[in-house]
Amino acid sequence: MRNPIALFCARFCARFCALLCLVLALAACEQAPPPPPARTPAATDLAKGEGIFKQVCKACHGTGAGGAPRLDKPDQWKPRLAQGNEQLYRHAITGFKGAYGTMPPRGGKPDLTDEEVRAAVDYMLSVLPPN
């Protein structure tokens, strides 16, 4: 048995629902948040640190000149890494005299900012295997 009223209701509902879905989908589209900016600060800082390392630090830390621990010799860094990053930053910024030689403040380039020296240390840490 077909009830014309029920049939009408079913059709009407189907159309109405389809329309409602469409409207909701469009509304959702309009409200979709903009995609996050494609920027990775850490990578940028590492690139910056690498540049500073190559310009300033590599002369000693690439060759071992003056008793500097070489970046390609992780063993020479093990006890240093164990001190924690803050001590490494501090020694790189203010300089220090150790058992092997003298690390000049800011690698001997006084116009480097603290942030730049830290970026160079971060780059060195990123190359060394974790302790």
Task: For helices 85-94 and 114-127, give the axis angle rounded to 10 degrees.
Answer: 130
Q: Number of C-alpha atoms within 13 angstroms, CB side, residue 70?
A: 7
Binding segment for ligand HEC among 8-16, 22-30, 31-39, 100-108 (CB under 6 A)?
100-108
- Selected from 51, 62, 105, 108, the binder of ligand HEC by CB under 6 A is 108
Of these, 45, 46, 50, 60, which contacts ligand HEC (CB under 6 A)? 60
Residue 107 exposed, middle or buried by CB count within 10 Å (0-12, 13-18, 19+): buried
Q: Would you tell me the crossing angle of helices 41-52 and 114-127 to the nearest 10 degrees?
A: 100
For position 46 contacting ligand HEC by CB under 6 A, the verdict is: no
For the bound state, the minimum distance from the C-beta of residue 30 to ligand HEC, rounded and expressed in Å, comes to 49
Using CB under 6 A, pick the residue from 100, 113, 114, 131 that binds ligand HEC.
100
